[in-house]
Every structure is written in structure tokens, then in C-alpha cells.
Amino acid sequence: MKGNLTQKIIQGGTDLTVEVIAIGGYEEVGKNMTAVKVGEEVIIFDMGIHLDRISIHEDTDIDRMHSLDLIERGVIPDDTLMKDVDGKVKAIVFSHGHLDHIGAVAKLAHRYDAPIIATPYTIALIERTIKGERKFSVSNPLRNLNPGGKLQLSKDITLEFVQSTHSIPQAVLPALHTREGVVLYANDFKFDNHQKISPPPDYNRLRELGKKGVLSLIVETTRANEFHEVKTYSERVAKIILEDLMKQPLKEKAGMIVTTFSSHVERVQAIADIAKTSDRHIFFLGRSMERYCGIAENFGILDLPDNASVYGSPKAVTKALNKAEDNREEYLLVTTGHQGEPDALLPRIASGRTPFTVRPGDNVIISAPIIPNPTNKANRHMMERRLISSGARIYSNAHVSGHAGREDHRDFIRMLKPKHIIPAHGELEMLAAYGELAEEEGYRIGNNVHILRNGQAQVFNEGF
């Protein structure tokens, strides 16, 4: 493994060893992949992509690219280290359907003789990804496990999906039950009690797991260093913000565009609910809108009104934009491109590369934050300047996060009382910030808080 760095903790107990192997997502936000070895058996969690390493957004097609090239570019996890792991992979488990968790499944899963396990909505997204793959043939069995469900993977390992909430439907916290205790994989989550689509997190079950004994918590750190936003607000707050912003523009005789994450089905539902009583027809536009929303509709997760249509193919999107150009006051366009990605729809509208042109008085609502990296900041700034120079009025960052805030994490630690904590899904600054938070709760970095880098491992040897 990288640097040949394997840390060990020796404790009295049984003869079963539990090892956590950091494959991807321990030096960056994204590219998530972790392996947990229990005795001689291995469970893999997530196979994601690093969105920042190439010009990529929710519509990007990497189907024709080779895995080795993507590994070299840092786009997908370098799982070649798994050749040195002496154990049988029993399952590949996915926590939810975002690209930074499932985006590499078609590039990597075929290397393992193991089933792919996820919630039904996530399985449907994975199946769509696999069907689009052009380089590799992926024949791993696909198995559904509902939130709250359990599945025995072997004599020594049982998988449980604990109900959670995030910014995509059917996000779960996978828990591995072993003789040494529970290993809980918490990438990604928030504590939201007021979503329309998803039920609240199963707090009672989390407390029960804490009482049973959590050996290790593997946990996201994406907002651990944001001291000014210590608790994440509910999606209900985002809906109120959108209602206030959309109410007047929906009545105006001008064009109107809303852009958000196409995978954020709860947000898409809120936009549709707000606009359904207006006189405008709602066009959801873009390949990823069609993918995430179409599957959600098929599962009965998303309920679009009669005045809504979803168009994904370039030809269908162009036709819809032609309609809206001629009678803009009759349509609400919901598009991809909130980060200003050059080839996404809203940036192309802003730069005059579509049949729909922005005119003075048009309204644009951006229901997404800038994902913090220099490329996104530059792209978003350029897009907004172009929209403003065309006369549009911009309402930026109408959003609440899908990730737990610092005080949510404190509550999480207190619920679970994990013996060990492994911060994940972040750059070193984020991992260290989570370590500082854990130290406030009585843990110690280097003792029972373990900061790993990609390619390193943490071994819990002989007992809980």
C-alpha cells in the first residue's frame, strides 16, 4: 500500500481482525472508495469520481474512457492497491447515488466477483451507468436493500442500511455488524426532519447501535471546518427561500430560469410544487435531469404536475428552448449548469449558444452554492456576468446544504459513541477539523481518531 503505512491497534478479545482501507476520498472531496476487511472477507463501500479533476458535471460522459487513464488523471480511485489485500470481496455497497460515490462503478466493479448492493433508487442509477459503459462489461449481480433492511453477507458479517437523509433520495448509512462491533460508513448525510420525499433519519436505531457497540465510525468531513455554519438547515427552509424568490417572477411577462442539482430530487419537487399553480409550463431540461428525475418518477418518488415536462436529448432540449424563446412568459426553464460548467445548459444559454436568448428583465434563480474550487468559482463568475450583461436579474445561492454541519456531527458522535473515528471524504484540512471536533468530545488524534491518506489502512486487531 501507499508508503507501506498500516497502523495497528492491539486489543484483547477474539481472534478476528477488522481493517479499514482508505482507497479514495481521503485526500479530496469526492472519489470515494473504502474497503473494510473483516477476518479474510472484504466489503467495499462506494466507487466514486473526483468531479474537479476533469471538466465534468452531471451531464458528463466518461463512458469511453479507460479506467487506467482515469486513475492516472485522479478522476477515479486507484484501487490497484487491492491486489495486495489478502481477502475475498463479498460485496460492493453504495450509500447513495451521487457521482462522487457511484460514478466509477462501471470502471471498477468488474474486477471483483461480488454483488453490488444499494437501495432501489441507487441501484437504478447504477444500472443506467453500467448500461452506458463502452469500455468494460460489468456483470456483477445487482441486489436491492431497502432503508432499514438487513442482509447477511457471510457467517461473520451482516449489512444493515440505516435510514438517513441527504440531497438525493434513499441515502443510507451502511452498517457492518461483526463480532468485534459495528463499522458504520457515514458518507454522506444530514439530519433533516422535514423533507417531503424522504422520512427523517432513524435516530432511535443510531442510538441502539451506539449501545450495541460501534467499533469504528467512517464519517464525511465536508463541512467540519465551517465554524460559522454549525447546524445544517432543513430542506423546508430551502423551499421557503424559493417560494419567496419565485413568487413575483412567475407573474412577470419575462423569461424565467431556475438551475439546481438534477440529482436533488427533493429540490426539484419543491420547484415543481411552487410553480404548478402558475400559468407557466415547466420544462426540466438536460440529460441528467432526465436521468435522475425520470427514474425518480418511475419509482413514485417524484410527483411532477401536469404542467411539467422533462427533456433530456439535445434534440428535445433544442425544441423546448425554441418554444420558450417565442413565448418566454409562458414557460419556466429548470436547467443544469449551476456551477457554470462550459458545456452545461445554463452556461450555453448565457453565452448565446442555444435558441433561447436571455433578454433584459429575465429572472435567473441559482438554487445551488459554488462548489469551492478555483475552476468552479471562475466558471460561475463568468456565467453570472454574461447573464447580467444580457439584462437578467440574478438570485444566487438559494440553497441549504445536504451535508451535516459541525454541531450535527457532535450529536452524531454522542449518539453512536464510537470506539474509533476515521474522518473521510475531504481534504487534509477537513479531516483535521473533524479530528479537532472529536477531541472536543474526548477523543484523541493518533489514539482513537485516525487520519488516513489514500492507500493507508487502519487495523483493529483482536477485539472490541
Establish whether 403 is an annotated binding residue: yes
Establish whether 400 is an annotated binding residue: yes
Establish whether 15 is an annotated binding residue: no
Establish whether 194 is an annotated binding residue: no
Establish whether 425 is an annotated binding residue: yes
Establish whether 279 is an annotated binding residue: no
Establish whether 264 is an annotated binding residue: no
Establish whether 188 is an annotated binding residue: yes
Establish whether 57 is an annotated binding residue: no
Establish whether 338 is an annotated binding residue: no
Q: Which residue has the cell 413575483?
A: 248
Binding residues for substrate: 399-403
Binding residues: 96, 98, 100-101, 166, 188, 399-403, 425
Binding residues for Zn(2+): 96, 98, 100-101, 166, 188, 425
